[in-house]
Amino acid sequence: MFNANNPLPFPKGSFNQKVVPPDDDPDAGEQTSVCFSLAWLPYVLGALDQLLLPYQWEGDTATIQLAQDRANLLKQLFATPVCATEMVDTPYWDDSEDVGDEASIDEQTWYGEVTNPTAPPDELTFEENALVWVFTGLLAIATPEVGFAPAIAFHTIAPRFIIAQKRGDFATIIRIVLDGADIAHVDTSSSAPGDIIEIPVVGDESLDAHDLLVINTLP
C-alpha cells in the first residue's frame, strides 16, 4: 500500500501484525524456484531476517522457535542457486596431458563448498556442489549471509604445481590444504582486481598421490 500524498511513496512493512507460521518445512511440500540477479542476493537474505524475529509469529514458545528454524532454512534455500542450466567444466588443468591425474574427469569431484572454513584441516567438511560455481563463478567467496565457503577439491599424483587465481572485486583469503595439512593462507588484498595470483605448491614426494583443497573465504 502506498501513501498517495507522499511525492516519494513508500510501501508499508510486509507484516503489520503477527502471522501464523506455515505447517511445512521450506524444503517440503509443493515447491517453486526463483532466479534473480546475484547483486540482490544480500538484500533478499537480509529482508528474510524479518522472519527470524520471534515477535513476528503467533503461537507458543515451541511454535515460534520452530517457525524461526524454518525461516533460517528458507534463507539457506535462497542462498542455494537454481539458475544453472548446465554443469561447469572440469578445471582447465585437467585438459592437459601431463598433469598426472589420479582419476578420470568423470570420476573426480571438483567444485563444492566448505561449511566450516576455519576448522582444523582434519575437521574440514567438503561437499560437492558444482551449482555454487555456476552461480557465482570462480571468484566465489563466503559471506555471512551465504554461510559457506566455495572450494575446489583436486586429487593428483603430481607433487609440485602452481595454483593461479584471479583477484576479484573483493579481497579474499585463499586457504590451501594439502594432504590434510595447512600449507598457505594467502590474503589477496595486496593485489589489484584482475591480477593473477600464483601460489606454488610442493607436496611430499614420498606419497603416491595428493589431495588438495582450495578454499575462498573473507578476510
**What's the burial of 84, exposed, middle or buried (CB within 10 Å: 0-12/13-18/19+)?**
middle
pLDDT, greater one: 16 or 80: 16
| pLDDT band for position 66 (cuts 50, 70, 90) | very high
Determine the straight-line distance between the first and last CA of the chain, rounded to whole angstroms: 41
Q: Does 199 fall in a domain?
A: yes
Measure the CA–CA gap between 24 and 56, rounded to whole angstroms: 17
Range of the structural domain that residue 70 is part of: 13-79
Q: What is the pLDDT of residue 75?
A: 85
Q: What is the pLDDT of residue 164?
A: 80
Q: What is the pLDDT of residue 136?
A: 44
Asked whether residue 126 falls in the same domain as residue 48, the answer is no
Asked whether residue 70 falls in the same domain as residue 173, the answer is no
Question: Long-range contacts made by residues 83-92, C-beta under 8 angstroms, separation at least 24?
Answer: 83/35, 83/134, 83/135, 84/130, 84/131, 84/134, 84/135, 86/134, 87/130, 87/134, 88/130, 88/133, 88/134, 91/152, 91/154
Q: Does 84 fall in a domain?
A: no
CATH code for the domain in which residue 164 is found: 2.60.120
Q: Does 87 fall in a domain?
A: no
What does the pLDDT look like over 95-132, one tens digit per residue?
555 555 555 555 556 777 787 888 899 898 888 766 55
Cα angle vertex 38, ends 106, 163, to 5°?
Answer: 45
State how many domains the chain has. 2
Asked whether residue 174 falls in the same domain as residue 97, the answer is yes
Beta bridge partners of 213: 153, 177
Cβ–Cβ under 8 Å, residues 211 and 178: yes
Work out the mean pLDDT of the chain and round it to a whole number: 76
| pLDDT band for position 82 (cuts 50, 70, 90) | low
Average pLDDT over residues 180-192: 91
Pull the grid cell for residue 135: 552461480
Q: What is the pLDDT of residue 14?
A: 75
Nearest Cα to Cα of residue 183 among 165, 143, 210, 208: 210
Asked whether residue 107 falls in the same domain as residue 195, the answer is yes
Average pLDDT over residues 140-144: 50
Measure the CA–CA gap between 102 and 46, rounded to whole angstroms: 43
| pLDDT band for position 73 (cuts 50, 70, 90) | confident
Asked whether residue 97 falls in the same domain as residue 192, the answer is yes
Average pLDDT over residues 34-50: 83
Average pLDDT over residues 148-155: 79
Evaluate if residue 152 carries a pLDDT over 80. yes
| Dihedral (CA of 199, 197, 173, 136) sign | negative
Query: Could you say which of 43, 58, 79 is where a domain stops?
Result: 79
